């Protein structure tokens, strides 16, 4: 999670349709393989680790982000959550890499780095923004390097030495609207300017978008066609 978006949404982030839906998709993708110890890379506010600690049997989380001013420790539902600028080896059984790979020059090298820190059998849950043709001012604002296809992300994951267990697109229900808007912008020759598209929505709009994404969860695992985000679950073997 990018701290730039956290700054925009503030305390409303837990109710925002995008983050609520993404947290539910994360749970859906993990299925019954819920972790005990989480390593959350590029964690920002730690939203996704906090969600797992609050709603599953997960017992502890280590949130790593170079943007933290200092190391700190907190609790979520009585469970320990550690915020660190860096970590060494850790016996985590789940590594979260939520919307981070698109920020770095060498995505394979980053995956290899954290692959070497965790034991065999650890799972990696990775998300990235989908499709380069959807590039927008929001990508510029967040300083992205690229967007991915599902096959492209799976190839990156395999090149790092991980075994892909499951891959899919998400946010398919809102994909057509986003695609039309961004293609229309390019067709009209409008200049892409760096600005966030993350905003607080009217409660009715927020509820409708949340419900659409909730419906999508029923077929998410089988969606290899289109969406705004790519999800990949992999394992260190």
Residues 194-223 pLDDT 10s: 666 666 778 898 999 999 999 999 999 999
CA–CA gap between residue 186 and residue 189 (Å, rounded): 5
pLDDT digits (tens, 9 = 90+) for 15-61: 888 999 999 999 999 998 899 999 999 999 999 999 999 999 999 99
**φ and ψ at residue 191, rounded to 5 degrees:** -75, 135
Coil/strand/helix, residue 31: coil
d(CA 1, CA 46): 7
pTM to 2 decimal places? 0.91
Q: Is the dihedral of CA 11, 4, 88, 49 positive or negative?
A: positive
């Amino acid at each position: 999670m990018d701290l730039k978006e956290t700054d925009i949404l503030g305390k409303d982030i837990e109710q925002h349709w995008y983050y609520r839906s993404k947290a539910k998709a994360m749970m859906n993708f993990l299925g019954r393989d819920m972790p005990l110890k989480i390593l959350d890379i590029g964690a920002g506010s730690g939203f996704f680790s906090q969600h797992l600690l609050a709603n599953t049997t997960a017992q502890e989380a280590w949130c790593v982000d170079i943007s933290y001013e200092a190391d700190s420790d907190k609790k979520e539902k009585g469970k320990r959550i550690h915020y660190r600028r860096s970590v060494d080896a850790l016996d985590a059984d789940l590594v979260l890499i939520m919307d981070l790979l698109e920020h770095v020059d060498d995505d394979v090298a980053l995956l290899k780095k954290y692959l070497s820190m965790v034991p065999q059998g650890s799972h990696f849950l990775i998300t990235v923004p989908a499709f380069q043709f959807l590039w927008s001012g929001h990508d510029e604002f967040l300083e992205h390097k690229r967007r991915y296809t599902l096959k492209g992300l799976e190839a990156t994951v395999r090149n790092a030495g991980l075994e892909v267990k499951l891959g899919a697109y998400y946010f398919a229900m809102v994909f057509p609207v986003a695609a039309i808007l961004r293609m229309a912008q390019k067709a009209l020759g409008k200049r892409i300017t760096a600005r966030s598209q993350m905003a607080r929505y009217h409660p009715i709009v927020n509820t409708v978008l949340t419900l659409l994404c909730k419906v999508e969860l029923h077929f998410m695992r089988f969606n290899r066609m289109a969406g705004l985000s790519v999800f990949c679950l992999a394992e260190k073997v």
